[in-house]
Structure 1
Amino acid sequence: MSDPIYDLHCHSTASDGALPPAELVGRAKLQGVDVLALTDHDTVAGLAEARQAAQDCGMRLIQGIELSAGFESHCLHIVGLNIDPTNGQLLEGIGRQQITREDRAQKIAQKLVKKGIPDAYPELRAAAGNGEITRLHFADFLVKHGYVATQQDAFDRYLSKGKPGYVPTAWAPLAECVAWIRQAGGVAVLAHPLRYKLSTKWLDKALGQFKAAGGQGIEVVTGRASIDDIRLSYGFALKHQLYASQGSDFHAPGNQYLELGRLAAMPAGANPVWDLF
């Protein structure tokens, strides 16, 4: 009998994913995923729908979230797994993050107007409803209206640091985000550690603070990870005595490298994060 397939990082329309939570769960089931964590950005709004869909199709759902956290002048993403989404301290923290996100969205839109790109905010707010507006939404807007050809072009020309639509954001500190997850009974995992383009020295410093705050895991296998990436990430897991997690970071159909459940094997001997729940 083969081992269960875990995918512990993905997104729905509650944040910047393309599929509603129930459809996301259905797609994961079709892809052979046995255990799925829904980890929307700074919100737990999609979990109830996902939980019901998982129950209906016989899949195990891990309730999760992905929090943006401040570390020095950087933004790190912390995945919370196996959380209680009704925890008061977590919800209070999420509320603060959502105010920050809304403020950033309005400021990005204002900067785009100055570059001759109007109407981004009203269109995105109407499309998102009560959901979160992320930079990926702005990237899709720029593609849709012909300002750029691809999402990556949108980030390269408008949305990345130093570009005309970039807005520096004061996220809650790393230790505070980890504390919210722990207070909600969850496991804190540093997401996609190599994506921040930090030097080894700085990533070690971040992981030291993360571990001291109560962080317990690091993503070793991600949808985009090469064999070398996995080896490097696993090295950080061993060095800092962190559990190894894996997740596709799925957002939308159509990207063969970011499909639900399509993940390389975990390194032999790794301590999987799901042992904690």
Structure 2
Amino acid sequence: MSYIDLHMHSYCSDDGEFKPKELVDLCLKNKIKYFSIADHNSIQGIEEAKDYCIGKDIEIIPAIELDCTIDKVNLHILGYGIDYYKKIFHQIEESIIEQEQTASKKRMKLIRELGIDFSDEVIDSLSRNGVVNGEMIAEAAMEFDKKHKNPLLMEYYENGSRSDNPYVNFYWDYCAQGKSAYAEVKFIDLKEAIKIIEESGGIPVLAHPGNNVKEDINLLKDIISCGIKGIEIYSSYHSKEQVTFYKEFALKNKLLLTCGSDFHGKTKPSISIGGTDCENKEEIIISKLKEFINLY
């Protein structure tokens, strides 16, 4: 277990489970000293968590996780130390929600056309703001398939090859970019995301590159050339080989190394707060991060 976790999500992300205060309690239970709630395109949970931390032996570093693109590849960029009162963050969130409401209908239609059905009533109980993501569809579909008869869902049930994090794995398998039930949402450009983060006093960090960069060195170099200042090396998604690859690249290019579990709750049950090994580099990560933040 690590005493830092710089990447987790509250229910202000459409795929998060817990309230910001509940995340703080979970962090304290897991003996976390430094943490960040980095919700998807949202800063709504930061203030509540920050206020709740007062008087407790824990420090929050304000953050956000922005969706963006480079050369038609979708990326997640973490912004640490941001001024979360900036209006631009609210504008981004409103735009994403509006687009997601439309994309949700297409996403559900495509999933049903593949032969995976679910209850609209269950979807309505899970949805917020009319947004239905892949994780919600997975939960509803697995509940609908009570006798576990649908062959398309078998690998997500207990002991299946994708059962460790069934809901989010379903998203990656069916609803992610390039998959059969992908519904496009137009995100901001990577350079714009970096500019927004830096103009708000924050530092831009590439999140879990093993998920979407996949050790493509040319793509990685293009991303870094846009102004990224750090990489989330230690991630619950990364294998030991990926940790080594991205750590060597970061050190060679004098980039900040960060650590985050990407905890969501029920959508990723195998991921725990503080559960990502950062090779006992907590003190270095936090001190370097604070140095970077103070420069912006």
Residues 183-222 of structure 1 correspond to what in structure 2 (within 5 A)?
183-196=199-212, 197-209=214-226, 211=227, 215-222=228-235
Q: Relative to structure 1, is the Cα distance of residues 265 and 105 closer, same or farther in structure 2, using a 3 angstrom cutoff? A: same
What is aligned with 1:14?
12
Distance 2:204 2:83 in 1: 13
What is aligned with 1:57?
56
Q: Relative to structure 1, is the Cα distance of residues 180 and 102 closer, same or farther in structure 2, using a 3 angstrom cutoff? A: farther
Distance 2:96 2:265 in 1: 24
Q: Relative to structure 1, is the Cα distance of residues 254 and 92 closer, same or farther in structure 2, using a 3 angstrom cutoff? A: closer
What is aligned with 1:40?
39
Q: Relative to structure 1, is the Cα distance of residues 120 and 75 closer, same or farther in structure 2, using a 3 angstrom cutoff? A: farther
> Which of 242, 246, 270 is matched with 1:233 structurally?
246
1:253 and 1:259 in contact (8 A); partners too = no
- The CA RMSD over aligned residues, in Å, is 2.9
TM-score, normalization by structure 1: 0.84
2:117 and 2:144 in contact (8 A); partners too = no
Q: Which amino acid aligns with 1:19?
A: F
What is aligned with 2:159?
none
Q: Relative to structure 1, is the Cα distance of residues 151 and 84 closer, same or farther in structure 2, using a 3 angstrom cutoff? A: same
Distance 1:116 1:253 in 2: 24
Spell out, residue by residue over 1:35-62, the C-alpha distance to the aligned partner (whole angstroms, 9 max, x if none): 1100111111222222222225332111
Q: Relative to structure 1, is the Cα distance of residues 267 and 24 closer, same or farther in structure 2, using a 3 angstrom cutoff? A: closer
Q: Relative to structure 1, is the Cα distance of residues 167 and 253 closer, same or farther in structure 2, using a 3 angstrom cutoff? A: closer
Shift of 1:220: 1.2
Alignment identity in percent?
A: 24
1:67 and 1:177 in contact (8 A); partners too = yes
1:80 and 1:188 in contact (8 A); partners too = yes
Structure 1 residue runs of 5 or longer lacking an equivalent are: none
> Which of 264, 274, 289 is matched with 1:251 structurally?
264
Shift of 1:76: 0.4
Question: How many matched pairs?
Answer: 270
Shift of 1:70: 0.9
TM-score, normalization by structure 2: 0.79
Distance 1:275 1:158 in 2: 40
Q: Which amino acid aligns with 1:48?
A: E
Shift of 1:143: 2.8
Distance 2:124 2:217 in 1: 39
Distance 1:135 1:190 in 2: 23
Shift of 1:257: 5.1
Residues 71-86 of structure 1 correspond to what in structure 2 (within 5 A)?
71-86=70-85
**Structure 2 counterpart SS, 1:57:** coil
Q: Which amino acid aligns with 1:151?
A: Y
Q: Which amino acid aligns with 2:98?
A: I
Q: Relative to structure 1, is the Cα distance of residues 253 and 115 closer, same or farther in structure 2, using a 3 angstrom cutoff? A: closer
1:44 and 1:64 in contact (8 A); partners too = yes
Q: Relative to structure 1, is the Cα distance of residues 206 and 20 closer, same or farther in structure 2, using a 3 angstrom cutoff? A: same
Structure 2 residue runs of 5 or longer lacking an equivalent are: 157-165
